[in-house]
Structure 1
């Protein structure tokens, strides 16, 4: 099942998320399992399956990174289950440097450095989002897959830094 088709939306990375949310809610109301409680078991099971597909589709499309991953999966790039290794040695070295920087910030408990670090990470993430949007629009699937891998790294790194920030704020 194609989730773009399910929500009657064009297959596009740049998506009108308010239309997605409206269609999600309309489909949820229509196929909610409670609406089929008095129907035969086959219809109840079908409604349950449809409701699960609607939820799965909404989760796949509502945020940019999972949406990019989903679009790539439609074109044969399963980012979640692949064994592909990134060959961009410059990026791999940058990853090591960024992780070391975050470790140093954590050891020194430097809140100002963490704030700057998070700002830089979020800026790089934003820049890569623009790149992947163009790559997906141009149907440059292998390049977009590499960019999504980079975005995943920046997302995890930002989450780690934000968790560190929250930990420090709880003291």
Structure 2
């Protein structure tokens, strides 16, 4: 009987803590785009000597995180198991609810992803600022992009979004058409080129090529680039320029394979260095094209 009486306060405290946690979670998650499915209390570690530790609630910054990150996913917020167990919470699965938009024309709720037109009034919608170029072009977020699929998507989108199709529409739709069409053009050009695609993937990770990157290059590589530029400047015939162009293309293909492998392995540092080298060869390739066009 004494043992049961000692356990009752702990069990009551545990249930009260869990109810309070779930209540605050539901209130906080209402202002976010994420909901939790199958969210349930976890078993507490009854071996902890300090019951206050076992039944303590998350600190204030935990709730602040939920309130100030409207686009965060539940998987990110709860990706570390220990805090969940520490706070008396457990999870089996989370599902992400797509961000809800309202049609600017009729006010209808738009919950479908990649929505360009309202499903009710068929009016063109504004660009979604949360979508990156891979989402816009419906491509896998990978350096090894399916170029044929990219081109098909581009043609289909421009067929639907081109401003010529909205010349008889209201002014706002015409403006949105110009924005959407320009965004599709920019996304297509960026993902089409290996160099621009790789640099864009770096920016998505918060990285970029700094000015003066050549200072970090190997002297041997810089000497090779200087030698190629001198050879190109000294060329007298179209055949000589073409030979240099073919050599540059071969080097670029090697770099493209290496960059793709680096991204697939998650080696962003190596990918960044390889893209810096690729930039040198792309510049020389442009000079070759310019030389051939002027000859």
Superposed pair shares fold, TM > 0.5: yes
Aligned to 1:44: 174
Determine which of 169, 194, 206 is the counterpart of 1:64.
194
Give the CA deviation at 1:166: 4.3
With the length of structure 1 as denominator, give the TM-score of the two structures. 0.81
Is residue 127 of structure 1 aligned with residue 257 of structure 2? no
Q: Which moved more, 1:158-167 or 1:139-148?
A: 158-167
| Alignment of structure 1 residues 86-101 onto 2, 5 Å | 86=214, 87-89=216-218, 90-101=220-231
Checking the alignment, whether the CA contact within 8 Å between 2:232 and 2:241 is kept in structure 1 is: yes
Give the CA deviation at 1:36: 2.8
Aligned to 1:53: 183
- Which gives a bigger RCO, structure 1 or 2 (Cα 8 Å, sep 6+)? 1
Q: Which moved more, 1:112-121 or 1:70-79?
A: 112-121
Give the CA deviation at 1:19: 1.1
Instruction: Work out the number of aligned pairs and report it.
Output: 163
Q: List gaps (5 residues or longer) in structure 1.
A: none
- Structure number with bigger Rg: 2
Aligned to 1:83: 211
The structure richer in strand per residue is 2
With the length of structure 2 as denominator, give the TM-score of the two structures. 0.50
- 2 CA distance for matches of 1:36 and 1:110? 50
1:11–1:45 CA distance, 2 compared to 1 (3 A): same
1:142–1:36 CA distance, 2 compared to 1 (3 A): same
The structure richer in helix per residue is 1
